[in-house]
Amino acid sequence: MATITVLGAGMMGSALCVPLVDAGHDVRLVGTHFDGEIIESVTKTGVHPKLKLPLPSAIRPFFVEQLAEAMRGVDAVGIGVSSAGVRWAGQQLRPFVQPGLPIVMITKGLELAGGHLDVLPDVLAQELGSQGEPSIAPVAVAGPCIAGELARRVETCVVFTGRETQALEELATLCQTRYYHVWTSPDVVGIESCAALKNAYAMGIGFAAGLHEAAGGAPGSVALHNYEAAVFAQAVREMQRIVMLLGGNPASAAGLAGVGDLNVTCNGGRTGRFGRQLGLGIGVKRAIEAMQGATLECLEILDVMRQALHVYEARRVLGSDELPLLRHLMAVALDDKPIAMPFSDFFSGRS
């Protein structure tokens, strides 16, 4: 049994606590300053208001002001903040983190800095004070995992990735349960790129449902499934290309973090639903409003990737005709252009 503190009490951070408790650990869940109401609810009633279910009573809730108390004597740390909160989380935890303390993060994203894209475990390592030594090498979680399902103990397969093998294997062993299946991969860049990019691509796959509905079609076997499957296949191809560009292993795009997470995000994720709204043709502003304040990671990653494409094109390592799907997704979601999927440009444009 280990003592594990998870910072970030949103849906995924809280859901991660469920297998941790089931694995027999002493689990402390610390809300950020955005999570005050959640921690209050969990403290008073046991119910997580966003997951809409009672958390196991063994999970101990803490407010952000109690972080020091929650960090006392921990054997491992989990980070469940949003991508915008990763640097903040690193700064908060820095006083409590000694080299060798295993850290696992579920936050996904890419950050453009100094002319290249960084994956979030590396961003977090910087904030935690790592000088590039392997002493602080956060482990990241990727793969298909709807938080509401994990919290309900649905069978879930994920991949942990990290730059230090010992911490990686240690955390995988700590988190494993009979329903939370954990594999490990050393391909931090490939796994984390896919984890971030899949949100953008799932949005594009979601267009089809909205286009079909807007044309008066009913859900069913005959809809625009051919359209969405073609976009799915091109998405995998573009993820492979971007992973290669960033120096990762393109094979990761065909695994849990790529095709697996893309599949789940289309079927159960917010991003697919946002794509459907865009497919309805109501414009970006109304599509965002229809999502009622849900975090739209797809817009964040599209914005980062647009800047990154300029950088990589200027360095002549990426052609301006590459990644036609990603470029169209940017035009639709960032510039409010109408949807006109560039199928003929897919798969190197040989069609």
Give the residues lining the site for a second copy (CB under 8 A): 143-146, 148-150, 152, 154-157, 176, 181-184, 221-230, 232-234, 236-237, 240, 253-256, 258-261, 263-264, 267-269, 273, 341, 343-344, 346-347, 350-351
Minimum CB–partner distance for residue 294 and a second copy (Å): 11
| Residue reference for tokens 């469920």 | 18
Tokens linked to 129: 């004070």
Nearer to a second copy, 1 or 340 (CB): 340
Nearer to a second copy, 18 or 97 (CB): 18
Among residues 113, 94, 106, 171, the alpha carbon closest in space to that of 144 is found at 106
Nearer to a second copy, 43 or 267 (CB): 267
Amino acid at 140: A
Per-residue burial over 303-329, b if 16 or more Cβ lie within 10 Å, else e, is ebbbebbeebeeeeebeeebbbbbbbb
Nearer to a second copy, 90 or 260 (CB): 260
Determine how β-strand 116-119 pairs with β-strand 110-113.
antiparallel
Minimum CB–partner distance for residue 339 and a second copy (Å): 11
Nearer to a second copy, 207 or 312 (CB): 207
**What residues have CB less than 8 Å from 56, skipping those under 6 apart?**
17, 18, 21, 22
What separation in angstroms does the CA of 302 have from each of 38, 112, 257, 291?
29, 12, 18, 17
Amino acid at 133: E
SS3 219: coil
Minimum CB–partner distance for residue 277 and a second copy (Å): 15
Nearer to a second copy, 62 or 207 (CB): 207
Minimum CB–partner distance for residue 273 and a second copy (Å): 8
Minimum CB–partner distance for residue 182 and a second copy (Å): 6
Minimum CB–partner distance for residue 90 and a second copy (Å): 28
CA distance 22 to 181: 13
